[in-house]
Amino acid sequence: MEIKRFQNVFTEGKCDYCDSNTLVLHRRYSGESLCSECFQERIEKKIYKTISKYNLLKPEDKIIVGLSGGKDSISLLYNLYKIQKRTYNTKPIIALSIDEGIQHYRAKCLEAANHFCSKYNIEHHIIPFKEVVGKPLDEIVKNSKQTANPRYACYYCALIRRRLLNDHAKKLGGDVLALGHNLTDIAETFLMNVLFKRFYLIANQYIFKHHSSETDKYFIKKIMPLMKIPEEEITIYANLKEFHYYKSHCPFRKTEPIVRKRVLDFIESFKQLSPEIEFNLFNGFMELSEILYNTQEKKDSDYCKKCGYPSGDTEYCSYCSFIRTLEN
């Protein structure tokens, strides 16, 4: 069944905020009608409010933004750039992109990322998988198919990208790494973790985790200022702003129909009955992650024999275990 991803459209009507009779977007989850200008203003306010409500940034923070070249990360970078100039005006933002090495896809995303950074004069770094782990993702996936236990492309991709983003953001002197995950991403990840009973992951994703000087040695603080905005609204916002972002999806989403995609389809179809479902899942995530984080047993971690990072109760961390299989 084809799932309808785009449920909101602009139609003739009256804007609830400025009273103009014009094209308005009707938000099914809240009942509001918004003209294009008021819609954009509300999205920007929501990002700013999320940052202040959850204390995501401090004035002296050096912000590194994970920039893929898609609508989410470009909208995020644009807003942080504006907020930082207006409110903080301290250290300039740096954009950090990871080039996984996905043919017919990533080069075009990086072109959009580059274009945006040049326009706003933002320092931009690109780290290719190939340079750090020796192979692009395409080759890693191809080789893994010849092994007894092949995994989906997203598994390798996420594992390596997470580490590279973290390490390079730290190298660049960052205090926070801002990521473009939106409300739909959070709802989808939460539901998936519930379905597979991965409660330790839910606990780990708690956004107010205690930061000790020990964990700060290895991991940068991550923030998600778009976490309260549905994906669909970010698409509308990025289009209204006429951002030059790369619109197509990663080809692995089609060739390897992972569970994540099915969970997303479920949320999208359920939204037609219950438009506020993503917000309910987000609130569920916030409550449950706090309970699980505060009640889980706090054990001392071992340290990876190769990179020295915390590795839970294993000899090697998951990143180094994977790199060892690559080397072998």
Which positions lie near ligand SF4, rule CB under 6 A?
100, 153-154, 157-158, 250, 252-253
Find out whether 186 and 282 touch, Cβ atoms under 8 Å.
Answer: yes
Give long-range contacts, CB 8 A cutoff, 24+ apart: 197-202.
Answer: 199/292, 200/292, 200/296, 202/285, 202/288, 202/289, 202/292
The C-alpha atoms of residue 323 and residue 133 are separated, in whole angstroms, by 7
* For Zn ion, the closer CB: 134 or 257: 134
The C-alpha atoms of residue 179 and residue 186 are separated, in whole angstroms, by 12
CB 157 to ligand SF4: min, Å:
3
Q: Which helix (H) or strand (E) holds 114?
A: helix 106-120
Q: Which helix (H) or strand (E) holds 178?
A: strand 176-178
CB 22 to Zn ion: min, Å:
7
Q: Which does 250 bind (CB under 5 to 8 A by kind): Zn ion, ligand SF4, none?
A: ligand SF4
CB 113 to ligand SF4: min, Å:
14
Find out whether 130 and 114 touch, Cβ atoms under 8 Å.
Answer: no
* For ligand SF4, the closer CB: 251 or 284: 251
Q: Which does 306 bind (CB under 5 to 8 A by kind): Zn ion, ligand SF4, none?
A: Zn ion
Q: Which does 153 bind (CB under 5 to 8 A by kind): Zn ion, ligand SF4, none?
A: ligand SF4
* For Zn ion, the closer CB: 74 or 304: 304
Q: Which does 317 bind (CB under 5 to 8 A by kind): Zn ion, ligand SF4, none?
A: Zn ion
Interface contacts to Zn ion, rule CB under 5 A: 15, 17-18, 35, 38, 304, 306-307, 317, 320
Counting Cα atoms < 13 Å in the Cβ hemisphere of 234 gives: 26
CB 114 to ligand SF4: min, Å:
18
140, 144, 56, 60: which is closest to 100 by C-alpha? 140
The C-alpha atoms of residue 85 and residue 64 are separated, in whole angstroms, by 15
Q: Which residues pair with 23 in a beta bridge?
A: 12
* For Zn ion, the closer CB: 120 or 219: 219
CB 179 to ligand SF4: min, Å:
13
Q: Which helix (H) or strand (E) holds 53?
A: helix 36-53
CB 272 to ligand SF4: min, Å:
25
* For Zn ion, the closer CB: 90 or 314: 314
* For ligand SF4, the closer CB: 107 or 158: 158
Q: Which does 17 bind (CB under 5 to 8 A by kind): ligand SF4, Zn ion, none?
A: Zn ion
CB 18 to Zn ion: min, Å:
3
CB 7 to ligand SF4: min, Å:
23
249, 254, 248, 255: which is closest to 142 by C-alpha? 255
* For ligand SF4, the closer CB: 95 or 153: 153
Q: Which does 304 bind (CB under 5 to 8 A by kind): Zn ion, ligand SF4, none?
A: Zn ion
* For Zn ion, the closer CB: 20 or 280: 20
Residue type, position 171, single letter: K
Token pair listed for 83: 């907020």
Q: Which does 157 bind (CB under 5 to 8 A by kind): ligand SF4, Zn ion, none?
A: ligand SF4
The C-alpha atoms of residue 27 and residue 5 are separated, in whole angstroms, by 15
The C-alpha atoms of residue 87 and residue 196 are separated, in whole angstroms, by 42
Q: Which does 160 bind (CB under 5 to 8 A by kind): Zn ion, ligand SF4, none?
A: none
Q: How far is CA 207 from CA 73, 182, 212, 221, 284, in A?
A: 19, 14, 14, 10, 13
